[in-house]
Structures are given as C-alpha cells and as structure tokens.
Amino acid sequence: MQAVILAAGASSRFWPINGQHKCLVKIMGRPMILSLIEGLKTKGIKEVIIIQGPGREVEKEVENYKSDLPIKYVIQSVPRGTGDAILKAEKMIKDHFFVFNSERVDTEEYIEPIINKFKKEKSEIIILAGKTSAPWLYGILKVKKDKVIGLVEKPTRGKESSKLKIVGTYFFPKEFLNYLKRVPRSEYSLIDAILLCVKEKEVKIVDVGKETFALKYPWDMFEIRKYIFDKFLKNEISKTAEIAKSAEVKGKIFIGKNVKILGGARIKGPCYIGDDCVIGNNALVRDYTNLERKVLVGASAEVARSILQERVKIHSGYFGDSIIGDNCYIGADTVIANIRLDRGEIKSVVKGKEVYTGLKKLGAIIGKNTKIGVNVSIMPGVMIGSNCQIGPHSSVLKNIEDNAVFYTKAENVIKKNK
C-alpha cells in the first residue's frame, strides 16, 4: 500500500510562518510531517511518495530524521493544484493508493476504517469526511447515506448543502489518474476529478463523526499542537538538565538535554522544552507551550499556550497564544495581548482580507529573524513578517509586512521597508 503526501503548495495563507512549507513547522522537536509519516508506518503503509516544491525543502528537512519507511520525492515545479501534484507521481504509483494533506497527523486513526470499507463494500474511491462549523472554508460534500452525490468547494456562506467537509484524506485506484487527466489543470482539479467520478462511478465516504482540524491559517497550529501533545508528549526530564531547587515543575512535561531552569521558575504542563533552552528566574511557562531548541525565556516572563521555534529569545513580558518564528529577539516588558477588550472573536487580516479566526484568545504570529524592542505592545491577531525591526515603546495595531522597520514616536507613526 502506497501513500502520497501533498507538500508542494506555496502556503500563502500561512504567512508569516511560510518561509518554508507549513508542514515543516516544528512541534516537539521535529517537523509536523514526521508525525504523519510515523503514523503511516504503524498502519502498514509500505512506501511514501512526497510531492514537494522546486526548492526541495521538505526532502532536505525530512532526510535529517531517520525513517525506516521508504520515502520517494517528486517535484511540482509550479503550484498548479493538488490534482496536478498527484499526477506528478504517476510513474511511481502501482495500484490503490492513499492521498494525504501534509498536516494530517491524525491519519493513522482513519486508515483502518477506510481499508475495512474497501474490503467489505469493494468501494474503490473513498473520501474521509468530517463535520465543520465553518463550511464556507472547505470542500463540502452532499451525500446520500454514505454515497457522494455532490461536492462544492467553498460554498457561499449560508448556502451550504451540508456541514460535512473533505478532511484531506483520500483512497483511490490507479485508474483515478485518468480522471485527473480529463479535467483542466487548476487549483480545484482534484475536486473536478472527484465530481467526474461521482457521475460515472461510486464514490463513498468514511465519516469520522466529529470536527477535525485543518491547516489553512497559522493559528490552526494550536489545535494540531494540542493533538500531538495529547498523543505523543512524554513526561521526561533529561539527566543533563539543570533545575534549580526553588523551581517548580508540575504536570506532564518533556525537558530536553542541557536545559537550564533557574530559581523561582515554574513550568506547568503539558509543555515541551527542547534541548539547550534556558528558563530564567521567576519565569512562568504553562499550558501546552512548545519551546524548540535554544529558546531563552527571560526572567519574569510568562509564556502560555504558545509555539516558539528555534533560537527565540524573549525577556520579561507576557506572550500568550502566539507563534514566534526562528531566531526572533523580543526585548523586556513587551506584551502580546491575546484577548479583545469586548471579549469577542478575534479577527486577523490574511492576504488583505479580514478573516474571522473562531478564537477568543489569539496573540501574535511573528515570522523569523524579527527583532522587537523593549516595552512594545502588540494587539490580538496581529501578524508581523520576517526580518522586521520593531522599535521600543511601539504599539502594533495592524499587520507589518516582511522586511519592515516600524516604530511609533509620540503621535507620529514611522514605517518603512529596509
């Protein structure tokens, strides 16, 4: 049995954490796609084919981690949709095959029900389906019992035929490639090919019976992080970690090699603290926080429910429900607000359009290599690009693009590209 993993898109809606493919964001010390690959191995998948972009960034990262599962790589030079991506693997596909979106770290739960349905009912095309409270964001299925009779990509809000979405897991016969060849190459060619199959063949679903996560926007990482923590986090402290007697470590916590936790610091799990991290005096790290290697949390800082990538340095201040990219530096007494004054749903701006996040707690999303001065205030849902400089005492109320220099002085706002 083969599995095709789709990891070639531009991840444009994932800005500013899109310096590489979104499946390479690290949780618990490794790229998210590794959790998917290891899950496939446990369920009897014999070979994985990863469709990646021309920069081969997925291959370079995955090959840093040893996997017993044979992995082949195919390049999609131009992002022309998932249908085109699958066709790039045509020469490697032997028989029936799975297709997975790269964020489907929960897939191992559903492979067996799909295979059982295939064996029992001889249904050759099977789509994994799940509930959604936001059907206008997804491909929505119209079904009769378990048979697909229609499919609409991102239906108009309020005019959805159902709240049953495509989850991002498929089971196809090799013959399905011919249907992909019969439809125009576009962003929605996979959907178009499935619709063609609905007219000519039987397409069935396996309904997971619950709402499942997706990875369209950066804040979707929080739900995936929670899934990975709940399933894989170990309560383990490295023998080389140094923990002060006055520090408190409570709950399910992984502490890596050469970590230093200084006096008065408190760690309240579940939390992951990677190798070579330093937690300063009287700092508080809590509630599903993920710290990758070489992160510094300075004295008296509080970090809650946040995802910090490698080599991030933060000093005193509050950092809640935020994602911070590699090699960022944040000065003392900076505060990232994560709740609106009216306690309402937080909105963010993605590709120039306002998007409802569905969250009442959301801090900032910050790209890599950004430096932020002391006493900066960042409002909920704000996104700051990579390679930025934010001056001291600034108030960041709106998104800041990549490579920008931004600071507020008195009543004047100065903003320019470097």
Instruction: For the chain, give every domain's residue range.
Output: 2-218, 227-417
Full DSSP string of 310-370:
TT-EE-SEEEES-EE-TT-EE-TTEEE--S-TT----EEEETTEEEE-S-S----EE-TT-
What is the C-alpha to C-alpha distance for residues 36 and 99, in angstroms, rounded to an integer? Answer: 12
2-218 CATH: 3.90.550.10
CB atoms under 10 Å from CB of 46, counted, come to 12
> 227-417: CATH homologous superfamily?
Hexapeptide repeat proteins (2.160.10.10)
What is the C-alpha to C-alpha distance for residues 174 and 188, in angstroms, rounded to an integer? Answer: 19
Tokens 């095309």 — which residue? 125
Residue 115's SS3 state is: helix
Among candidate residues 311, 272, 269, the one with its CA nearest the CA of residue 290:
272
pLDDT at 107: 87
The residue type found at 237 is I
Residue 217's SS3 state is: coil
Q: Say if CB 295 and CB 289 are below 8 A apart.
A: no
Tell me which H or E stretch contains 409.
strand 404-409
pLDDT at 410: 45
Among candidate residues 159, 213, 203, 153, the one with its CA nearest the CA of residue 22:
213
Per-residue pLDDT of the chain (418 residues; tens, 9 = 90+): 899 999 998 788 899 998 889 999 999 999 999 999 988 988 889 999 999 999 999 999 999 887 788 999 999 998 888 999 999 999 999 999 999 999 999 988 899 999 999 988 887 899 999 998 888 888 889 889 899 888 888 888 878 878 899 999 999 999 999 999 999 888 889 999 999 999 988 899 999 988 888 898 999 999 999 999 999 999 999 999 999 999 999 999 999 999 999 999 999 999 999 999 999 999 999 999 999 999 999 999 999 999 999 999 999 999 999 999 999 999 999 999 999 999 999 999 999 999 889 899 999 999 999 999 999 999 999 999 999 999 999 999 999 999 999 988 644 555 566 5
Long-range contacts of 353-360 (CB under 8 A, 24+ apart): 355/217, 357/217, 357/219, 357/381, 358/133, 358/134, 359/219, 359/321
Half-sphere exposure (Cβ direction) of 149: Cα atoms closer than 13 Å: 8
Residue 157's SS3 state is: coil
pLDDT at 418: 56
Instruction: Look up the pTM and report it.
Output: 0.90
Half-sphere exposure (Cβ direction) of 240: Cα atoms closer than 13 Å: 9
Tell me which H or E stretch contains 7.
strand 2-7
Chain centroid to CA 44: 25
Q: Say if CB 304 and CB 321 are below 8 A apart.
A: yes
CB atoms under 10 Å from CB of 62, counted, come to 23
Q: Say if CB 206 and CB 114 are below 8 A apart.
A: yes
pLDDT at 155: 82
Which of left, alpha, beta for 166 (phi over 0: left; psi -120 to 50: alpha)?
A: beta
- Asked whether the bond before 270 is cis by omega within 30 degrees of 0, the reply is yes
pLDDT at 9: 81
83 token code pair = 């249908």
